[in-house]
């Protein structure tokens, strides 16, 4: 059995059964692992940073009797890259980087550990059925729900944070941060092929893959694409930079295509 774990508030497992508990509570995890046997564990993308990411994940590491893990990491481990591949710029990215380093140390110390680290870039979109969508309350933290809420009039304008970055944007005046936006269903496919490799191979070790398009896109380019597709003009407000935001974050996905057959 494979389980997915959401560390935000409680432990939630696939369609077979659910277990109410807290990943930060060792007793809850002990009860869960004593009840059933898992083939693999997928650690989902948490939101409570140091408490959930570090404390909860370390508790989970301790109780993974089968020593198998697929860890959904984050592109934030790259920070503002130059020649050094991983230098996180904010607390969230640092927690992900710490956990990747811990995972690597676990494998070095005990070769029985098999670990796949999936570095997600910026997920956008929804399931094609329309039943699974991102529709947050309040002002969204992610770009696409922000754009769509402005488009339907729920929010008055799209705040664009930072317009003085040294990046080409297709505009002679405005220079915006560059991100790699990837459809959420493509990420789901990446999870599936990674898990398939994980279950079929015993010689994985500890390996990381970038799950993205490998291309950078600015906020204004995303807005222009949305406007072209919908015929809806969006009001935009240029705002100051946010601390901890990198100028450009995208990376090669050649390794995922070569070793996982995913693109």
CA 166 to chain centre: 25
- Selecting among 49, 61, 78, 92, the annotated active-site residue is 92
Helix ranges (DSSP H) in the chain: 26-35, 49, 57-62, 91-109, 143-151, 184-200, 219-230, 254-260
Q: How, if at all, do strands 217-218 and 178-179 pair? A: antiparallel
The residue assigned the tokens 């959904």 is 72
Q: How far is CA 104 from the centre of its chain?
A: 19
Neighbours of 22 (CB within 10 A): 16
3-class DSSP assignment, residue 103: helix
- DSSP secondary structure string, 200-230? H-S---EEEEEES-S--EEHHHHHHHHHHHH
Q: Is 146 a catalytic residue?
A: no
Instruction: Give the residue numbers annotated as catalytic, written as ranges.
Output: 92
């Amino acid at each position: 059995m494979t389980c997915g774990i959401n560390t935000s508030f409680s432990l939630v497992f696939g369609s077979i059964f659910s277990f109410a508990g807290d990943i930060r509570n060792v007793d809850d995890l002990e009860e869960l692992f004593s009840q059933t046997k898992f083939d693999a564990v997928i650690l989902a993308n948490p939101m409570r940073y140091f408490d959930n990411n570090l404390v909860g994940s370390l508790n989970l590491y301790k109780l993974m009797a089968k020593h198998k893990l697929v860890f959904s990491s984050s592109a934030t481990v790259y920070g503002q890259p130059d020649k050094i591949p991983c230098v996180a710029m904010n607390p969230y990215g640092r927690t992900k980087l710490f956990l990747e380093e811990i995972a690597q140390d676990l494998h070095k110390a005990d070769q029985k550990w098999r670990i796949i680290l999936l570095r997600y870039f910026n997920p956008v979109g929804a399931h094609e059925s329309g039943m699974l969508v991102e529709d947050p309350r309040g002002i969204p933290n992610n770009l696409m729900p922000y754009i769509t809420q402005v488009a339907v009039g729920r929010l008055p304008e799209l705040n664009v944070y930072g317009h003085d970055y040294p990046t080409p944007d297709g505009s002679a005046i405005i220079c915006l941060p560059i991100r790699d936006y990837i459809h959420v269903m493509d990420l789901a496919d990446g999870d599936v092929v990674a898990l398939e490799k994980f279950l079929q191979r015993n010689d994985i070790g500890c390996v990381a893959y970038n799950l993205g398009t490998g291309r950078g896109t600015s906020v204004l380019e995303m807005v222009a694409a949305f406007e072209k597709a919908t015929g809806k003009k969006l009001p935009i407000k240029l705002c100051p930079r946010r601390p901890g935001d990198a100028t450009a974050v995208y990376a090669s996905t050649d390794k995922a295509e070569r070793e996982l057959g995913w693109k």
